[in-house]
Structure 1
């Protein structure tokens, strides 16, 4: 179960990074994209954190 959560978090981040690359190619500002990237990374860290908490129990 925990490995599934971790895999889903990584797959979600991968998908989000593809979206960021697409936005960059469409001319979105680097500043907007850096905020978006930060949000995506924080979300992935939260998801991975919940998976590791479950492992420790």
Structure 2
């Protein structure tokens, strides 16, 4: 599941973008990064999840 983005800087940037967009339907892609070996990636995953809708519906 983590193979969608392999380089740490790229996946951190992508997670940040998804969080800024409040993208729906991506929580399941972000959650595995909470256990990533890279500390910054774990932090970014938590920050992103906090910004995402919890019920997978877009927010206005």
The structure with more helix, counted as a fraction of residues: 1
Computing the radius of gyration over CA atoms, which structure comes out larger, 1 or 2? 1
Aligning the two structures, in what range does the TM-score lie when normalised by the shorter sequence? 0.3 to 0.5
Bigger RCO of structures 1 and 2 (CA < 8 A, at least 6 apart):
1
